[in-house]
Amino acid sequence: MARHFSLSGFPEWLPEQRLVEQHVLSTLQRTFELHGFSGIETRAVEPVSQLLSKGETSKEIYLLSRLQADQATDDAELGLHFDLTVPLARYVVENAGRLMFPFKRYQIQKVWRGERPQDGRFREFVQADVDVVGQDTLSQHHDMELPLVMVDALSKLPIPKVVVRASNRKVAQGFYEAIGLADIEGALRAIDKLDKIGEKAVAEMLMADGATDEQASQALTLAAITGSDGSIADQVLALGARSERLDTGLNELVDLVEGANELMPGSIVADLKIARGLDYYTGTVYESTMVGHEDLGSVCSGGRYDSLATDGKKTYPGVGLSIGVSRVLARVLGTPLVEASRSVPTAVLVAVMDEEHRRASERIAVQLRDRGIPTEVSPSAAKFGKQIRYADRRGIPFVWFPGDPDSVKDIRSGEQVDADAAQWAPPAEDLHPTVRMLS
């Protein structure tokens, strides 16, 4: 007999947990479509050269190969995609002639990363992305639209409140230029690690990349600025550094924060320590954390990218956000903070009088299913008491008893009434499993 090997980093939910996941995914889909986003799905693999085009990510890529591969005739080296943004860039370029711009898409799909599994981090996981992509230009107001879509979506999920924080890389880049930092991209990557490794370690990283002690201190002072209105600009300008890029970034950030909070009060907080480590972000960047679970890290992140997608003639700028669905589920299911009302979709179990009359029970089940009622037939013709206990263990709320007339019993309350399979229906709240947060 083959030995079973457990693989960490590849979540496999139990049926009742899968019901929660399906509820989350369907809620996200409905909300994204409510905001006018169209769903797409892209292939799971991309050329490695394409995956590497957005920065230093080679250690995260799972390579794809065949046991009988012929190196002389095989196509370019392939890898499993580790996010949904790079595939989107390729998809937009290949289909630009058939898309309407600005192109608003959502994508809910699995991705793969070859990193060490830990709390909230997996090798295989589900992401849910929303992006708006333009052709040559993309209006700045989409930078405000996207986080509000996510605030709406996240508020409908059975999870703790999520706080969306935003910054603008132009602010940090312009500030670093003004104070004379040589390695601006290195500084952004260092600041992005602030929550994980602390100020002292970040300062050491900055100085290792050529910053002076004073420049490192100034960068950390900038990163400490937060706010929910235009006062964030005053705090930044009070530091004394000025540049054209800095002014542009501040204007964009203030417009974003004030506009979003006017439409949805308290929806977004400016936080200048957010940098996002990936190289393709060019302006607004976002991160989000669940209240009371900040140790999990960001559960929804993204930003503006003005030059990720191009065919050499046209450029397709975009802005997008991504929810780490599996990361959120691992926390709310593992704690647990949420549960499904039952572990199976079934609302009705049709009892079987005896095996000779099983066909009669199956005909009743067909009638109920034809009317949209999730139904299964008892697997055995045991005594009714055992069939009821079977339904109870599975969380099935109703048991149907064939007879003359038929009857149906709510096994939670004990109430039993005569019923006709062509007319009877369970209460709306019992038709499908529901999901709720635990107090």
Encode pLDDT of 93-139 as tens digits: 999 999 999 999 999 999 999 888 888 889 999 999 999 999 999 99
Q: What is the pLDDT of residue 70?
A: 67
Closest among 146, 121, 392 to 264, alpha carbons compared: 146
The yes-or-no verdict on residue 288 having pLDDT over 60 is yes
- Reading the block at residue 99, the tokens are 């898309």
Which residues are part of a known binding site? 83-85, 113, 127, 131, 276, 280-281
CA distance 150 to 284: 15
List 108's β-bridge partners, or say none: 128
Residue spans of the domains in the chain: they are: 15-339, 348-437
pLDDT at 195: 86
* pLDDT computed for residue 1 by the predictor: 42
pLDDT of 359 strictly over 60: yes
Binding residue positions for L-histidine: 83-85, 113, 127, 131, 276, 280-281
Strands lying side by side in the sheet with 45-47:
45-47, 78-80, 63-64
What is the third-level CATH fold of 348-437? Answer: Rossmann fold (3.40.50)
Bond before 11 cis per omega within 30 degrees: no
Mean pLDDT of the chain: 93
Whole-angstrom Cα distance, residue 48 to residue 321?
Answer: 23
CA distance 354 to 259: 67
User: In 3D, which of 25, 35, 40 has the Cα closest to residue 106?
Assistant: 40
Q: pTM above the 0.85 mark?
A: yes
pLDDT at 171: 96
pLDDT digit string, tens, across residues 125-183: 999 999 999 999 999 999 999 999 999 999 999 999 999 999 999 999 999 999 999 89
Q: Are 305 and 138 in contact (CB under 8 A)?
A: no
Write down the pLDDT at residue 56.
52
Of 120, 133, 179, 166, whose CA–CA distance to 334 is shortest? 120
Task: Tell me the average pLDDT across 237-266.
Answer: 95
Edge-first strand order for the sheet with 348-350 is 375-377, 348-350, 398-401, 407-410, 416-418
Q: How far apart are CA 98 and CA 375, in angstroms?
A: 43
**Mean pLDDT of the region 261-275:** 94
Q: Is the pLDDT of residue 357 over 60?
A: yes
Q: How confident is the model at residue 72 (pLDDT cuts 50, 70, 90)?
A: low
pLDDT at 363: 98
CATH number corresponding to 15-339: 3.30.930.10
